[in-house]
Amino acid sequence: MARVSKCSSLVATGVWVLLSLLCPASGGKLLVVPMDGSHWLSMRSVLVALGQKGHEVVVVAPEVNLNVKASEYYTLRTYPVPLTREELEARARSFANDLFERGAFLRRVAALYEKVQVISSLYVSSCTSLLHNKDLMQYLEGSRFDAVLTDPVVPCGQILALHLSVPSVFFLRGLPCSLDLQAAQCPDPPSYIPRTFTDNSDHMTFIQRVENILLKSSESFLCHFAYLPFELLASDVLHRPVTMKELLSHGSIWLKRMDFVFEYPMPVMPNMVFIGGINCGRKKPFSQVSDFLDKTC
């Protein structure tokens, strides 16, 4: 548990160091564009730690969301979206069921392709509502933020960071189709790195390696299909053609919620920091264990 606590402190310290470099005379001002659901629950602990250290944290989220709530440690600014909470919950539940459902490989991939279109349109609609909200955008443009903390699974925060011309800190577990590795220019050999849904290990047979390479090719189609609306939106806001790879390549720091010892060996860039353990909280020990230790020590 001590290690978990250290991981949480390291994450907050890493963001704090970035803000200190940008604004050494006072606490930093951080804009947060989170991903909803479990992604937000992981990020919230970092924001609380930053707020306790005196940094000004502003969280921007849609009015209709699953988990993002106000707190004394940050300011929550919301914007309207053309969606009800019931619709959001139904779509999120349907996507999660297909994502974790076991079954034939091709059947799982086909179901995922279908749901990606639905979930992608949902987040594109929300992002469009944010970027076209004149009052909120005017407030953000005049607030002079030092950095943007965002989960790049939905690249809305990165589009906003480039629009505001401020550095971005990515907080994530990973990205579909290894977009994180591509954007950071990390080697990603498909014959050695197992792809999602294959259930392969890093010790593959020749047939499994061929399967891995074929799936890598299909991933490109899936991600192009899913992220094309974001590329079009980013191009419209930034007034120049933008691809997802180019959009994410501007990330200053990648905080990855994984432990290197539990992952397949892979090269990473110096600005990628592994923060495995951030999802774990410190719990009280079992009373029986405490009693046993007291008697035996």
**Domain-located, residue 292:** no
**Domain-located, residue 73:** yes
Q: Are strands 75-79 and 147-150 parallel, antiparallel or unpaired?
A: unpaired
CA atoms within a 13 Å half-sphere pointing along the CA-CB vector of 172: 24
Is pLDDT of 157 > 90?
Answer: yes
**Tell me, what CATH number does 136's domain have?**
3.40.50.2000
**Domain-located, residue 100:** yes
Give the tens place of pLDDT for each residue, 22-71: 444 467 899 999 998 888 988 998 999 999 999 999 999 999 998 899 99
Contacts of 35 (CB under 8 A, 6+ apart): 43, 150, 151, 153, 154
Grade residue 3 by pLDDT with cuts at 50, 70 and 90: very low
What percentage of the chain reaches a pLDDT higher than 70?
Answer: 76
- Can you give the residue range of the structural domain that contains 82? 2-283
**Domain-located, residue 40:** yes
Count of structural domains within the chain: 1
Indicate the length of the chain as a whole number: 297
**Domain-located, residue 297:** no
pLDDT: is 29 or 262 the higher one?
29
Is there a contact between 179 and 155 (Cβ–Cβ < 8 Å)?
Answer: no
**Domain-located, residue 19:** yes
Q: What is the mean pLDDT of residues 231-260?
A: 93
User: Dihedrals φ, ψ of 228, to 5°?
Assistant: -55, -45
Give the tens place of pLDDT for each residue, 175-228: 888 889 889 988 877 777 777 666 777 778 888 888 777 777 777 777 888 899
pLDDT at residue 276, as a whole number: 81
Grade residue 132 by pLDDT with cuts at 50, 70 and 90: very high
Give the tens place of pLDDT for each residue, 84-112: 888 888 777 766 666 556 666 666 666 66
Grade residue 173 by pLDDT with cuts at 50, 70 and 90: confident
